Amino acid sequence: MAGLQSLAGLWPTQTAPPARVNLQWQAAPAVASSSAAAAPAPVRQRSKPKTANSAPVSGFHAASPSTPDTPNEPQAAESESAKTEDPATPPTDTVASSAASVDTAAAAPDAAQASAPVVPPPTPTPVPVPAPAENLSSTPAPAVPDNGGAPAWLSQARFVWPRPGTFQYDVIGESKGIRYSANGELVWQHDGVNYQMKLDISHMLLGSRTQTSIGALDNQGLQPKRFGDKYKQEMAAHFERDKGLVVFSASSNPQALQVAAQDRLSLFAQLAALLAGSPELRQSGQHISFQVVAAKSADIWTFQVDKQETLQLPIGSLTTWKLSRVFKGSYDQTAEVWMSPAHGYLPVKVRIAQSNGDVLEQNLRKVVGQ
């Protein structure tokens, strides 16, 4: 549309003639336009002869003032490329043929463009091109090696199973602001192929809570098959490894099962066997992550190896390695565990704190059968 508007401004309009004769420079084009050369010259019959005021001067011609009823027409000797018509007063010339009139109409824009001053096209606005991003990769680096989603530490892990035994604890707890004392007992048994664990915490008035874990042992540590959590009524989580799922008895929504996953009870034996068999992990600041399955859900837990500590417990003085669960949020459960090398790195003290303020602490009192 911009080009059409600029051409429309070139057509002359009917205005009052100037009072004096102006000399105008008009350069004839060196070569006639292709459309003007190809078109046959129209045969015109003038209704009124026109007399020039003065003879044309080389390079100049006299512009005669024109009246409204006598339009100024170009000389016959002028180039076809310089001819323009006044649209306000259409010519009375007759056209020899319809083809000639079509050619003449087609040549008119060429003639107007030839006499019009050359206007340079507007400079296009450059379109900004975003700079290429730096240091981007089409595939982000995985947090762990690409070995089926297994944690990084598992590829070099070695496991030494603790000897079977029964651990008895003094339990101190606080629930809804009420402090209580209870008895705890952890039974760990295995034959080198399969294992079973049972933790029972009992109170004379509050009753008992029992957790159980059964499964197999292999080069990736404990492989739980079933985790049970019973307080008045039991809920269970089933590890269906052939389907890659954890199925919950209290929920119809299974979750994906990850490599090296543990339950809330088997994780203690897994950490014990891992620390006993992989001394390189017994370094302050070392992180050990794996999936932990409860009776209704599963989540990723990360334990950090803190430091060595000597504890004074009901069983006596023990040298331990302290591990703590990395705190993720204000509603997350914290867990601290002290592992004893003298007892196959099984826990001799455990402290678990809930976000609502409930606390449960187990301190080793006696070991039987180890």
Residue 228 and residue 175 in contact, taking contact as beta carbons nearer than 8 Å:
no
Average pLDDT, the chain: 73
- Give CATH for domain 152-368: 2.50.20
Q: Which of 292, 303, 302 is nearest to 266 (CA)?
A: 292
Enter the tokens of residue 264. Answer: 């809330």
pTM listed for this prediction: 0.60
Mean pLDDT of residues grouped by 10 in the chain (370 residues)?
36 43 46 43 47 42 42 42 42 41 43 48 46 33 46 92 97 91 97 97 90 96 97 96 96 94 97 96 94 95 96 97 87 89 97 91 95
| Rounded distance between C-alpha atoms, residue 362 and residue 202, angstroms | 12
Helix intervals (H) in 49-130: 98-115
Q: Give the containing element (helix H, strand E) for 4.
A: helix 2-8
For the chain, domain boundaries: 78-115, 152-368
pLDDT at 364: 98
What pLDDT was estimated at residue 206? 82
